[in-house]
Amino acid sequence: MKIRNQVLSFIREHSLIQNGDRVLVACSGGSDSMALLHFLHEERNSLHIDVSAVHVNHMLRGEESEEDCRFVERFCSERLIPFYGRAIPIPDLLAVEKGNLQAICRRERYNYFEEVMIEGEFNVLALAHHADDQLETVLMNIVRGTALNRSPGMQISRDISNRKLIRPFMGITKMDILRYIDEQGLAFREDSSNLKDNYTRNRFRHHILPLIKEENENASHSAVKWAERQNEDERFMNELAEMEFNKAAKPDGKGGITLDTVQFSRIPPALQRRTVLLLLNYLYDQSQIGNQLIEAVWNQCKSADGNAELYLPDGTKLIRRYQTVHLERHPEEQQKTEALHFPIDTWIDAGNGIRLKWTRTDSGEDEHPSMERWFFNLHPDEQPLCVRARKEGDRIQLPKLSSPKRVSRVFIDAKVSIEQREQLPLIVSAKDEVLAIPTFRYGNRFSSVCKGNESYILFVADQF
């Protein structure tokens, strides 16, 4: 009963849930998420909300992963909780992208969450992070040095694509959750990977948190309060920095940006680094920006003596000319796809190792069955098609979205590197409307399954 009151009080204090909210609970099958799903389902009438569950099978642990999914689905079926689930081949994606496993899992997981929220008209996504998770996150960010560039911990709530992400359990600890599990007689699945020290979070959880809690058993609650205040301060400071940034910086319309160093020198020192961070955010993803890069650019922005040139990651060049600092894409490093005509019934090399061809569905042509293919319709005034690199202002109408989304935002949300963004080709209509980004995202008129009313078919291959 005490835990129930704690969570409900925390929800009210932070205005996490409103009457009529449609809440989607991310549920892995572990103790934390099972407790959250059960809690919100039990309190759905008192909170006046609808509750559903979503589960992602990352396909990393074979049968164990599949049983996790079946377990959550059975739990939902027994309680008539609407369930959404998908298996995502993370090992295959990892083999192709050669990226960070955790980053790829998170990207694909959140992409699916967004898809389900749109499909089911959910306005709230609930995650089961608790106070101990917050303490781990704060400590890891301090040790890594990333706490210098952003808020040190997870936010209790934040906006995601015009919807809301909440963490209702942030006011309680893992011990509280296990006590709730025991009181309610709930079953859960234990992820075997959580027992290993392969991941940084596990090492902090197994070896560092116990030592801290020996010194102060309330350390996790203190971390939640401290991180919340830091987040509030950070938001305010960033608002001030953005005002200064808008005075001192100006985009050049070609993907670069220019900073007035005289105006920059008038910015209070406490805001200068944040202003530099905004400058770098214009060109990089957050994950690419480290302390060394910030310091290097900051030193150039502070100086007004002579000329200087600095080569930055991903083909970016900083040029300082007395009272201005200009950041631009380094021409020698760029490998953009040149615009080219895309005639029907003709294979073309679209760049980045991608080959494309489109033809009428009634042509009777039978390409290799394993080749990627998409069915679509096209108005006569949208022809001829063209393939080109992205440019500022490009938007694409993705399935299930009410309005076109900026291509740059699509890339950022999917954590696509700057280099990859410049190389991926776009298929555009005669009206210069972006229809598809082959191998990556396809507009709302494309379907991987022939529904019988499409006039054209697009073939995508990485070799002849």
Please state the domain extents for the chain: 2-226, 253-333, 340-461
More confident residue, 241 or 369: 241
Predicted confidence band of residue 166 (pLDDT cuts 50, 70, 90): very high
* 333 band by pLDDT with thresholds 50, 70 and 90: very low
> Do the Cβ atoms of 10 and 170 come closer than 8 Å?
yes
The annotation status of 15 as a binding-site residue, yes or no, is no
Pick left, alpha or beta for residue 160 (phi over 0 → left; psi -120 to 50 → alpha; otherwise beta): beta
- β-pairing verdict for 50-57 and 124-126: unpaired
Q: Tell me which amino acid residue 226 is.
A: W
Q: Does domain 2-226 have CATH number 3.40.50.620?
A: yes
Q: How confident is the model at residue 362 (pLDDT cuts 50, 70, 90)?
A: confident
335 pLDDT band (50/70/90 cuts)?
very low
Report yes or no on whether pTM surpasses 0.75: no
Rounded to whole angstroms, how far apart are CA atoms 150 and 274?
9
pLDDT at 452: 77
Which comes out higher in pLDDT, residue 452 or 45?
Answer: 45
Is 31 marked as a binding-site residue?
yes
Q: Is 29 annotated as a binding residue?
A: yes
Spatial distance between the Cα atoms of 84 and 157, rounded to a whole number of angstroms: 23
Q: Is 253 annotated as a binding residue?
A: no
pLDDT tens, residue by residue, 339-356? 788 888 888 888 777 889
The fraction of the chain above a pLDDT of 90, given in percent, is: 50
Q: Which of 33-47, 359-373, 444-458 holds the top average pLDDT?
A: 33-47
Consult the annotation and say whether 220 binds a ligand. no
Q: Would you state the pLDDT for residue 287?
A: 64
d(CA 281, CA 294) in angstroms, rounded, equals: 11
CATH 3.30.465.60 fits 253-333, yes or no: yes
Distance of CA 286 to the CA centre of its chain: 11
Tell me which residue of 257, 251, 279, 252 sits closest to 267, measured CA to CA. 279
Lowest model confidence (mean pLDDT) among 271-275, 329-333, 380-384: 329-333
Q: Indicate the range of 7-16, 26-35, 299-308 predicted with least confidence.
A: 299-308
Q: Which residue type is seen at 454? A: E
Of residues 362 and 47, more confidently modeled: 47
DSSP string, 330-362: -GGG--PPPPEEE-TT--EEEETTEEEEEEEGG
